[in-house]
Amino acid sequence: MKDIDFDKLKKEVEAELQSIKTQEEIENFRLKYFSRKSGVLNDILKSIKGLSIEKKKEYGKFANQLKIYIENEIEIKKESLKMEHIKNLEEEEKIDITAPGKKVFSGHIHPLTHIIRKSVDIFESMGFEVASGPEVETEFYNFDALNIPASHPSRDMQDTFWLDPKTVGPGFLMRTQTSSVQVRYMEKNNPPFRIVCPGRVFRKEATDATHEMQFYQIECLVVAKDMSLVHLKSVLELFFKKLLENEKIKVRFRPSYFPFVEPGVEVDVICFKCLGKGCPLCKKTGWIEIGGAGMVHPKVLDSAKIDTSEFKGFAFGMGIERVAMIKYGVGDVRLFYNTDMRMLKQF
Ligand SMILES: [Zn+2]
């Protein structure tokens, strides 16, 4: 047998220990020296069996010293790796309490939703109750009950989204106005009442800067004894003062025609930018057209079985998008629906 160079062996062990970086490598290192089957130290002990007693003693002593040395070094290495791991964790999970806070992006409600909620709040403060109805309507509630003649162009295929009669049956459509809600409410409730109906309506028309195929309307209806245009005007004036947040707002009526009212009026509000002097917003007229209104047509009350000798009603309706465009100075209605954050962040 060759002489065993214990000094050289110790140097190899030292070099190996230096390169160990993980607990797994330590375990492999331990097996390399202490494994019963193929461990280096076991091999040495096996190989010295046939030697003289003196050599056995000498080699046995060295082998034992080396064994103790390696065992100690393994423990030291394990401990130092553990400490290193903890130190790394501290570094990774460190919280810098002096670092500037991360900015949290908070959204807000859509400008159209804002106008709807604000309008409803104002009407509720005047004692109105919120009423709603289906967006898929029947021809009766959308047209007949509202005194819209069978020949009226709005019933045309070009203007209304009619649903496929083969699928849902005849006479169903996407409502073109929220007035259908008024009819449904009048059928089920006895006057006097005051209601406000916000909701989506649908028109089959080409979209452009001022037209969308779907948009929001809000309508109000009052049915009570002795109602007149004076009541209508005072309610609207108060409503627009609060909605446009301007105490100087005035309302004017211009005669107009809508099948479901008689008389019917166009509703203008005084331009809130120039207060009547004339500016680009009001196209130098001093007034802004904002909706339609009138005294509820007796035929509409009749169709809801309301006694027209005792009760009268007034109604008003406006497009939410139009109000939002005027109030916020938005030039194209389509901007409200295209989810462009550059636009929405401005509100
Ligand atoms: Zn103006």
**61 three-state secondary structure:** helix
113 CA to middle of ligand 1, Å? 25
The number of C-alpha atoms within 13 Å of 31 and in the hemisphere containing its C-beta is 7
154 CA to middle of ligand 1, Å? 32
- Average pLDDT over every residue of 5-21: 86
**Distance between alpha carbon 148 and the CA centroid of its chain, in Å?**
38
- Average pLDDT over every residue of 264-291: 92
**Distance between alpha carbon 308 and the CA centroid of its chain, in Å?**
46
244 CA to middle of ligand 1, Å? 14
198 CA to middle of ligand 1, Å? 27
Dump pLDDT digits (tens) for 137-163: 999 999 999 888 888 877 777 789 999
Cα gap 162→144, rounded to integer Å: 15
- Average pLDDT over every residue of 205-232: 92
CATH architecture classification, 111-344: 2-Layer Sandwich (3.30)
279 CA to middle of ligand 1, Å? 4
Say yes or no to pLDDT of 57 above 70.
yes
319 CA to middle of ligand 1, Å? 20
**67 three-state secondary structure:** helix
Say yes or no to pLDDT of 7 above 70.
yes
Pair of tokens at residue 245:
């947040």
With CA atoms as reference, report the closest residue to 9 among 66, 59, 75: 66
- Average pLDDT over every residue of 19-28: 89
CATH 3.30.930.10: which residues of the chain? Answer: 111-344
The H or E element containing residue 267 is strand 261-270
Which residues are in the CB-under-5-Å shell of ion ligand 1? 271, 273-274, 279, 281-282
270 CA to middle of ligand 1, Å? 8
Say yes or no to pLDDT of 99 above 90.
no
